[in-house]
């Protein structure tokens, strides 16, 4: 399913989404100062480590070791695309190429600093307590997923064959998706989610949470997001104890959703091409919070909020914006005749 098909389907469902919403009317509080500026908002240290032909540049942590080892063990590469053949050295780095808004004011496009989809007070975000004796809370918010290849926008490293050539674009607006407003509707089009709603799957997520706290990512447990919750149901509701952690969980769930919709790709291990990613590889992504407070570092999927979220929730500001860094593996070389 390509992006144009997704947008057409989303447009057809807008009336259904607005008609089924029952949230009370509220005035939108979309701030103008959130317009995306890659020079000031992106935490540039997150592009490290860079590995060139097996040699690491910059600091690295446990999260990076496994992926960087692909470059270290095979520093040379050779690729063929049609009649074009090239060989060279393998390069890997973290690329800032996607942005995600998590907003309680529907239609608030934080990257643009404008409310572009007035909903008449419907589809509002919310926070509520859960009366189950656990003192936990539930948050609901909308997300906006942007194609934002920062290297291309800054006209940098454009000679690398694995740098995306797409321009800035809005790939998904969940206000247009009835399935995002209701986990029940989401289960209709994502029936596999039922398989992960059992105690055994929940116990597996405990192991994923422990690994995330240590800076590791368990890719086989794709239905878990460490301490951030579960990927299913693919909807805007999430249980939380830390609101910043909940924002990150919804941003990560949005990335997972793009894969289930057929709109997510990653670079192949040989560095020669991009391949479809219907089920995400969690270790290929890390997030940096940009709004309401710029984060000092990037975090792996599921990292407990106690280790990074302190001071990131400015009073009275309940909209968040994240930059998603993707691990890119690239065969940078010279074409042969």
Nearest to 270 by CA among 47, 126, 75: 75
**What is the greatest pairwise CA distance in the chain?**
70
Task: Tell me the three state secondary structure of residue 149.
Answer: coil
Q: Does the pLDDT of residue 128 top 80, yes or no?
A: no
What's the angle, vertex CA 88, arms to CA 87 and CA 93, rounded to 5? 130
- What is the mean pLDDT of the segment spanning 151-155? 80
**38-93 residue pLDDT tens:** 889 999 989 888 888 888 888 766 666 666 777 777 888 899 888 888 888 988 88
pLDDT confidence bin for 122, thresholds 50/70/90: low
Q: How far apart are CA 97 and CA 75, in angstroms?
A: 25
Q: Does the pLDDT of residue 251 top 90, yes or no?
A: yes
Q: How far apart are CA 220 and CA 228, in angstroms?
A: 17
Determine the pLDDT at residue 316.
83
142 Rama sector, left if φ>0, alpha if ψ -120 to 50, beta otherwise: beta
- What is the mean pLDDT of the segment spanning 111-133? 68
Q: How far apart are CA 44 and CA 35, in angstroms?
A: 18
Q: Does the pLDDT of residue 278 top 70, yes or no?
A: yes
Q: How far apart are CA 156 and CA 137, in angstroms?
A: 43
| Upstream peptide bond of 299 is cis (omega within 30 degrees of 0) | no
Determine the pLDDT at residue 131.
52
DSSP H or E run through 94: strand 84-103
Q: Does the pLDDT of residue 3 top 50, yes or no?
A: no
**203-245 residue pLDDT tens:** 889 999 999 988 888 999 999 999 999 999 899 999 888 899 9
Cβ-contact 241, 256 below 8 angstroms: no
Determine the pLDDT at residue 201.
84
């Amino acid at each position: 399913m390509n992006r144009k098909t997704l947008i057409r389907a989303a447009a057809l469902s807008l009336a259904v989404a607005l008609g089924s919403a029952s949230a009370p009317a509220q005035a939108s509080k979309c701030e103008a100062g959130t317009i995306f500026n890659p020079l000031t908002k992106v935490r540039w240290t997150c592009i490290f480590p860079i590995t060139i032909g097996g040699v690491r540049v910059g600091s690295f942590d446990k999260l990076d070791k496994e992926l960087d080892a692909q470059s270290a063990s095979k520093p040379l590469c050779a690729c063929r695309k049609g009649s074009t053949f090239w060989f060279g050295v393998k390069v890997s780095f973290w690329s800032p190429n996607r942005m995600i808004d998590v907003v309680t004011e529907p239609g608030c496009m934080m990257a643009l600093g404008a409310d572009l989809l007035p909903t008449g007070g419907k589809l509002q975000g919310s926070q509520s307590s859960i009366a189950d004796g656990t003192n936990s809370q539930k948050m609901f918010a909308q997300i906006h997923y942007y194609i934002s290849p920062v290297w291309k926008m800054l006209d940098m490293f454009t000679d690398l064959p694995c740098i995306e050539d797409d321009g800035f674009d809005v790939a998904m607006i969940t206000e247009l998706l009835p399935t995002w407003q209701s986990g029940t509707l989401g289960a209709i089009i994502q029936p596999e989610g039922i398989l992960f709603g059992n105690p055994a799957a929940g116990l597996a997520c405990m192991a994923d949470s422990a690994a995330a706290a240590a800076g590791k990512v368990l890719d086989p447990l794709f239905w878990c997001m460490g301490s951030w919750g579960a990927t299913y149901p693919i909807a805007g509701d999430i249980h939380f104890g830390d609101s910043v952690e909940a924002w990150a969980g919804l941003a990560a769930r949005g990335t997972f959703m793009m894969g289930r919709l057929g709109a997510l790709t990653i670079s192949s291990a040989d560095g020669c091409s991009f391949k479809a990613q219907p089920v995400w590889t969690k270790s290929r992504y890390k997030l940096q919070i940009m709004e309401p407070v710029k984060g000092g570092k990037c975090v792996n999927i599921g990292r407990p909020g106690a280790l990074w979220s302190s001071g990131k929730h400015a009073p009275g500001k309940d909209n968040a914006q994240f930059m998603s860094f993707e691990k890119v593996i690239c065969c940078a070389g010279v074409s042969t005749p």
